[in-house]
């Protein structure tokens, strides 16, 4: 599997004949350095952790242009359908769906998930983390936006993720030290953790240095890939 960080919380997973985008926030993302058409080339699926604009991102345009299937919670799917998305697969927390060659499971995240327009909040289901499992490939857990919570231990026990994509930016998610504690306490058997949701907007921490330092000597591989280089796991 090739995992490419595309800035903020956006990732691309390449495996078998699948191209999966997670939280494809490109337009207006100051941390995105590539070309949208290039990084979305061949996309088959779009997974969205929750309904905030910096995670839904370019989903509608990409889904219309490519026909990629959108997988997210029911309420957000219905909202995207009202925006013209036709190929979608709604689900909810705890559920697993077969995407033909891999599965997607939505798990808990501690975060809000509404769309704010003109000061009015429209709830779009729950915030989630996403588990991606494919035969012969590492299991990937994208935490979405979240705080630390004790049931991460159950997520680790049930899904045994090999790669944990972890928000570290603070203010809207865990900060670096708490994120490191989450990995150390609940995912010590993961092959790697990849930090995200930082170095994009000024209120967020500017780099992953504190996260890396907090896990130094803990026996856990921290991978901080450059946004234009894919990591093979």
3-state secondary structure 14-41: EECCEEEEECCCCCCCCCCCCCHHHHCC
Domain assignments of the chain as residue spans, ordered by start: 2-224
Would you state the pLDDT for residue 120?
A: 76
Would you state the pLDDT for residue 35?
A: 94
Per-residue pLDDT of the chain (233 residues; tens, 9 = 90+): 999 999 999 999 999 999 999 999 999 999 998 899 999 999 999 999 999 999 999 999 999 999 999 999 999 999 999 999 999 999 999 999 999 999 999 999 999 998 887 677 888 999 999 999 999 999 999 999 999 999 999 999 999 999 999 999 999 999 999 999 999 999 999 999 999 999 999 999 999 999 999 999 999 999 997 765 677 87
Q: What is the DSSP letter of 226?
A: -
Would you state the pLDDT for residue 79?
A: 96
Would you state the pLDDT for residue 123?
A: 87
DSSP 72-103: EEHHHHHHHHHTT--SEEEE-TT-EEE-SSSE
CATH class (in words) of the domain with range 2-224? alpha beta
Long-range pairs for 214-218 at CB < 8 Å and ≥24 separation?
214/176, 214/177, 214/180, 214/181, 215/180, 215/183, 215/184, 218/180, 218/184, 218/188
- Cα separation, 95 vs 106, in Å, equals 6
């Amino acid at each position: 599997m090739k995992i490419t960080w595309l800035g903020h919380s956006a990732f691309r997973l390449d495996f078998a004949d699948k191209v999966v985008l997670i939280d494809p926030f490109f337009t207006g993302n100051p941390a995105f350095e590539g070309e949208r058409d290039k990084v979305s080339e061949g996309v088959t699926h779009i997974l969205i952790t929750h309904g905030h604009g910096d995670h839904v991102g370019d989903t509608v345009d990409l889904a219309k242009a490519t026909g990629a299937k959108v997988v997210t919670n029911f309420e957000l799917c219905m909202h995207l359908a009202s925006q013209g998305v036709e190929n979608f697969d709604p689900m909810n927390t705890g559920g697993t769906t077969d995407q033909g060659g891999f599965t997607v499971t939505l798990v808990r995240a501690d975060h809000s998930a509404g769309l704010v327009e003109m000061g009015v909040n429209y709830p779009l289901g729950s915030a989630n983390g996403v588990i991606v499992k494919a035969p012969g490939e590492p299991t990937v857990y994208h935490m979405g936006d979240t705080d630390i919570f004790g049931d991460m231990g159950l997520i680790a026990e049930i899904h045994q993720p090999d790669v944990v994509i972890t928000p570290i930016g603070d203010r809207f998610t865990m900060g670096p030290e708490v994120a490191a504690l989450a990995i150390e306490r609940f995912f010590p058997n993961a092959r790697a953790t990849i930090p995200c949701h930082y170095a994009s907007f000024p209120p967020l921490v500017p780099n992953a240095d504190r996260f890396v330092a907090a896990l130094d000597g803990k026996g856990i591989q921290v991978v901080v890939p450059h946004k234009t280089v894919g990591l093979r796991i």
